[in-house]
Structure 1
Amino acid sequence: MRTECLLTRLERVFARLDREPERPAHIDVPVMSRHRVVLFASTLAFYAAIVWAVVITSWLVRLDWQVMFFRPYQQWPEIHAFLDYYVVLGQRGPTAVMVAAWLGWRSWRQHTLRPLIALGVSLLLLNITVGAAKIGMGRLGPHYATEIGSNEMWLGGDIFPSGHTANAVVTWGILAYLASTPRARRWLSALSAVMSLGVGLTTVYLGTHWLSDVVLGWAAGLLILLALPWFEPLITRAEAWVFSVRESWRARQGVTVPTPATTRSVGTSPLRTPAQEPATATAHDTIAARTVRSPLHLTPGLHPTCPDRVPVTPVGSRRPPHSDRMPRGTTPARPLTGG
């Protein structure tokens, strides 16, 4: 006879999470390959070409004015309300919160801080590069243009390149960058491309950006994603530093974390072998064994046995005694009558 104790729902959740390795072996960290270097150099040259075309007031500036006078928001007013909400997918605050929530769950599940640190590094690079370009070129937007046909450069504006577009490329593209499988990377790359294209064209529709602002925003965001492998050593050092700070804090607080060498399974002592373990366990050992998530959780469908419940075989009859009943095989004595 064997009795087993059932796991609680929270224990089953932790048992499922314990099946994930501390750093999954199938996740490849991107490296700065020759192909990526060529793409980075090509995108950088395209970035410089767009800036030069706007500075010299070329055909690209004339196209900007033509799109501006076309006023797409007046041509298709029925989609204006929808696009007002859709453009939020390019704002830094809401998108950063959504992506950080997803990457935070992945970090907790995989026991690594790399997704969150990579997101922080990419957003930091986005703020530095795009913010510096905006302030340095100071271009005014379509609603604040001062002279028809001019490039509106160095007039105190902050729209060149488009921050919404670059942010959409980085925040949604980081999901593809951190994907664990090639198939997931392809799907997430397509999703990020649709998001960034849609957000960029929506800003042109609403009249908040020139078309050249959006094109430069696409290039600016792509440059950050292509340059991220150069920062992987920094991400690794940052993760190691965070874990070292955590361990030092635990040491100051006196918190002991069970290691694989000292962690015991349910019902066994860390200082005794199974042969030396007594048949029964004390209440203290039972509570400690239940608080530690043992390797037995890794076996699906099995539950650890409760050491505090020892099967007992009942002895004798389970029927309660009755004073008015006689044992079987005996004949009651007949009453004696006179005569």
Structure 2
Amino acid sequence: WRGRRAGAGRWWLPLPVAALTAGLIPLLVVPAKSAFARPGPLGEALTAGQWGWYPSGHTATATISYGVAALLLARVAGPRAVRGLAAGAVLLSLGVGAGLVWSDFHWLLDVVASWCLAVLVLWSLARWLPRPGAGRRQASGSSLR
């Protein structure tokens, strides 16, 4: 809404992009799980309908969700808050991954693979989203007098 009030171009874009990013997670994780069909750390054999443990869907979902939230909030937060948002997203993601490994729900490599996948998705999203005020600068620079 701040972008709309400020006259930014495509002010509405971040929210649908965030929703589409959330929908992208299973499209990336499930095929990898079914391709690798890796059993979990407790050594249980996969049963019918199970995809496997690699990569960790829980870690990917948490990391991408926290990262998208930090990216969207960083667009309207002050410069000091951006580091705090990034640090908070990283710490929460590390906590989720560590908890999954500690509780023997995932191997460490399952979690690390999801972090790598999440970093690629978040990096792409950060490059694709327009910067705050970018549309306003373009509009004011292209006006004819």
TM-score above 0.5: yes
The alpha carbon displacement at 1:190 in A equals 0.5
The alpha carbon displacement at 1:226 in A equals 0.8
Which residue of structure 1 lines up, in the alignment, with residue 106 of structure 2?
Answer: 209
Residues 141, 210 of structure 1: 8 Å contact kept? yes
Which residue of structure 1 lines up, in the alignment, with residue 61 of structure 2?
Answer: 167
Which residue of structure 1 lines up, in the alignment, with residue 28 of structure 2?
Answer: 129
- Identity fraction in percent: 36
Using CA pairs under 8 Å that are at least 6 residues apart, name the structure with larger relative contact order, 1 or 2: 2
The alpha carbon displacement at 1:125 in A equals 2.1
Which residue of structure 1 lines up, in the alignment, with residue 71 of structure 2?
Answer: 177
Residues 168, 192 of structure 1: 8 Å contact kept? no
Cα shift readout 1:11-66 (whole Å, capped 9, x = no counterpart) = xxxxxx9xx562536x8x9xxxxxxxxxxxxxxxxxxxxxxxxxxxxxxxxxxxxx
Which residue of structure 2 lines up, in the alignment, with residue 143 of structure 1?
Answer: 42
Structure 2 residue 95 is the aligned partner of structure 1 residue 198: yes
The alpha carbon displacement at 1:208 in A equals 0.6
Residues in 1 aligned to 2:125 and 2:4: alpha-carbon distance in whole angstroms: 23
The alpha carbon displacement at 1:200 in A equals 0.3
Listed as ranges, the gaps of 5+ residues in structure 2 are 131-145
Residues in 2 aligned to 1:184 and 1:24: alpha-carbon distance in whole angstroms: 20
Superposed CA RMSD in Å reads 2.9
Higher helix share: 2
Which residue of structure 1 lines up, in the alignment, with residue 6 of structure 2?
Answer: 24
Aligned partner of residue 42 in structure 2, secondary structure: helix
Give the direction of change, closer, same or farther, for the CA distance of 1:199–1:229 in structure 2 (3 Å limit): closer
Residues in 1 aligned to 2:3 and 2:120: alpha-carbon distance in whole angstroms: 32
Residues 126, 224 of structure 1: 8 Å contact kept? no
Residues in 2 aligned to 1:162 and 1:118: alpha-carbon distance in whole angstroms: 23
The alpha carbon displacement at 1:144 in A equals 3.3
Q: Which structure would you say has the larger Rg?
A: 1
Cα shift readout 1:112-160 (whole Å, capped 9, x = no counterpart) = 53332121121122121112211111111012346xxxxx9xxx64210
Residues 126, 167 of structure 1: 8 Å contact kept? yes
Residues in 1 aligned to 2:38 and 2:81: alpha-carbon distance in whole angstroms: 38
The alpha carbon displacement at 1:184 in A equals 2.6
Aligned partner of residue 106 in structure 2, secondary structure: coil
Residues 125, 224 of structure 1: 8 Å contact kept? no
Alignment equivalent of 2:14, drawn from 105, 115, 119:
115
Spell out the pairing of 1:27-106 with structure 2 (5 A cutoff).
none
Residues 170, 224 of structure 1: 8 Å contact kept? yes
Give the direction of change, closer, same or farther, for the CA distance of 1:23–1:158 in structure 2 (3 Å limit): farther
For these two proteins, the number of residue pairs brought into alignment is 124
